[in-house]
C-alpha cells in the first residue's frame, strides 16, 4: 500500500456541513499496483480540530463553525488532511 485518502462518503474532497450535523467519511487505500480498496471500517480517523468537529468511527459531527482537518491512518500510513468546513446554523 502506498497511500490513504479521506473524502466524504459521497467522494467530496471539499465537504461542508452545518453545525450540529453529521457527515459520513470514507477512506480509500491505494496499492503499489494502483488498485484501490475502501478501508473505511479499518482506519483510525482523527480530527486535528476537535473543537470544530469530532470523529467517531467514520462519522464526523460538526461542533461549531470553522474548519476542521481530518486524517486517517491505515496500516501505518496516514492520509493527507481533509479540510471540512463547518457553517453556522441559518438564522
Q: What is the pLDDT of residue 20?
A: 95
Q: What is the pLDDT of residue 91?
A: 58
Q: With helix as H, strand as E and coil as C, how does the chain read? A: CCEEEEEECCCCCCCEEECCCEEEEEEEEECCCCCEEECHHHCEEEECCCCCEEEECCEEEECCCEEEEEEEEECCEECCCEEEEEECCCC
Q: What is the pLDDT of residue 1?
A: 76
Complete domains list, the chain, with CATH: 3-87 (2.60.40.1080)
Q: Name residues of the chain where pLDDT drops below 50.
A: none
Q: What is the pLDDT of residue 90?
A: 67
Q: What is the pLDDT of residue 17?
A: 96
Q: In degrees rounded to 5, what are phi and psi of residue 2?
A: -115, -25
pTM of the model: 0.92
Amino acid at each position: 500500500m502506498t497511500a490513504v485518502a479521506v473524502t466524504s462518503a459521497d467522494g467530496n474532497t471539499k465537504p461542508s456541513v452545518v453545525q450540529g450535523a453529521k457527515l459520513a467519511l470514507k477512506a480509500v487505500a491505494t496499492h503499489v499496483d494502483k488498485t484501490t480498496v475502501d478501508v473505511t471500517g479499518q482506519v483510525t480517523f482523527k480530527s486535528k480540530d476537535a473543537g470544530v468537529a469530532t470523529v467517531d468511527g467514520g462519522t464526523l459531527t460538526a461542533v461549531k463553525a470553522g474548519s476542521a482537518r481530518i486524517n486517517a491512518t491505515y496500516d501505518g500510513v496516514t492520509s493527507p488532511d481533509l479540510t471540512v468546513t463547518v457553517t453556522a446554523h441559518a438564522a
